[in-house]
A = this chain, B = another copy of it.
Amino acid sequence: MTNERFVTATYIVETCLPLQRAVDVLAGEQSTGTFVRVGRETAELRAEFAATAVEVTELPLTGSSALPGTVGDPAHRRRARVVVRFPLDNFGPSIPNLLAAVAGNLFEIKELAAIKLIDLDLPQEFAERYRGPQFGVEGTRRLVSRPRGAMLGTIIKPSIGLSPEELAEVVGELAGAGIDFIKDDELQGNGRKAPLAERVKAVMPVLERHADRTGVKPMYAFNITDDIDRLEANHDLVVAAGGTCVMACVNMIGLAGLEHLRRRSQVPIHGHRAMFGAFSRSDQLGIGFRAWQKLVRLCGADHLHTNGISNKFYETDDQVLDSIAAVRAPLLGLRSMVPVLSSGQWGGLAHATFREVGTTDLLVLAGGGIHGHPDGVAAGVASMRDAWESAARGDDVTSALERSTPLRRATETFGPVRV
């Protein structure tokens, strides 16, 4: 359904006006129109440049409130899935300019009681201009020496407050326990107690020594999120020390900042989604994960947070599974991103997760699930590894619990294994 001359955007809209009227306002506002017809807005111009609704499918109302400022008769409120086609030539294959059309002023339209961009279908030209993931699953597996099985990782906890020396100690324990991946918390940017330069200096020698001994260098995603003009230097600092990954909060540096980083990065970019909820949690407003992750992928993140099942945040398992599928789905010939399952994860979720996703091309992160294990982080890592290997072998939960003391012990803190 890709058409090389058009971008197709899919929205959920609600309106208390006649549905067609609201759809016309949306398409008009986002292309040739203003609140009055003006001179020079000829029929020819409209034929060439106007956005057009090509599909309107009515949906049942959900019970959510209408957005503030909605006009019209509440008794006539309706909900619909609306597909709008925008001529590519209106903005060209530029993500910032694309956004002004498909996700700009339209959220403020008072004729709409709900307006959420849920999907985007983009012409191939976008993949010619934007590079997409540089490493993806295969490149990440190669760097962490984990050719098969789930890649297992953790977030440094507590999120902030550890000194570089304490951090090095934790990293040493984790590496010794056979972890594949460690990341800074998104709250750990360049704080006073452990600035980036000092974290790199403390962590990398530990990982290099471990690699010398074992031949395996766990990946540490240093959070390099900062002002645009600092990103390259931050990246270079990590790479110069032998680091194999940088983490960026996509919404804090912006999609445009991510793309800027991608052009310079020599290592995988771990994309954190902090602030995603601000424009996505409402079912009445904003941008959904499917649409957003396509832009993140074009801009070049290698890993993207999707949450995991039974997470501590608001998302349902269905939403999480859809997000995992989305970042792995084909997109304009680009590499897939590695879905990063995070938030409330621990070994007891492995079997249920694997049954749903059917792949181990995943990066599964347990923060509290490893650091909070009653027998310490090594047992925390072992509980995760045992569980994921068992799940991938097709063993059932009972046999996993029988065979793995660390997993059994984990259940004492984190509750029963999910079946």
Interface residues, chain A, CB within 8 Å of chain B? Answer: 30-41, 45-46, 48-49, 63-65, 67-70, 89-92, 94-97, 99-101, 103-110, 155, 157-162, 166, 170, 186-187, 189-193, 225-229, 249, 251-257, 259-260, 263, 274-279, 281-287, 312-316, 344, 367-368, 371-372, 376, 413-414
**What residues of B have a CB within 8 angstroms of the CB of A91 in the complex?**
187, 189-191
Asked if A96 contacts B253 (CB within 8 A), the reply is yes
Q: How far is the CA of A312 from the CA of B36 in the complex (A)?
A: 11
Q: Please determine whether A160 and B90 come into contact, CB atoms closer than 8 angstroms.
A: yes
- Option from B30, B35, B65, B109 in Cβ contact (under 8 Å) with A65: B65
Docked CA distance A110–B311 (Å): 10
Q: Which residues of B contact A159 (CB under 8 A)?
A: 31-34
Q: Please determine whether B226 and A275 come into contact, CB atoms closer than 8 angstroms.
A: no
Q: Find chain B residues with CB under 8 A from A64 CB.
A: 65
A110 to B314, CA, bound (A): 4
Min CB distance, A306 to chain B, in Å?
A: 12
Chain B residues within an 8 Å CB radius of A36: 368, 372, 413-414
Taking CB atoms, residues of chain B closer than 8 Å to A413 are: 36
Docked pose: A286 CA to B191 CA in angstroms? 25
Residue of B nearest to A130 (CB): B227
Tell me whether B281 and A38 are in contact (CB under 8 A).
no
Contact A158 B256 (CB under 8 A): no
A285 with B278: CB separation less than 8 A: yes
List of B residues within 8 angstroms of A92 by Cβ: 189-192
> Do A277 and B108 have beta carbons less than 8 Å apart?
yes
Given A160-B32, A281-B107, A282-B68, CB of A40 within 8 Å of CB of B170: yes
Q: How far is the CB of A416 from chain B (nearest CB, A)?
A: 16
Between A33, A99, A263, the greatest number of chain B beta carbons within 10 A of the residue's beta carbon is seen for: A99
Q: How far is the CB of A389 from chain B (nearest CB, A)?
A: 24
Are A281 and B68 closer than 8 Å at their CB atoms?
A: yes
Is there contact, CB below 8 Å, between A316 and B103?
A: no
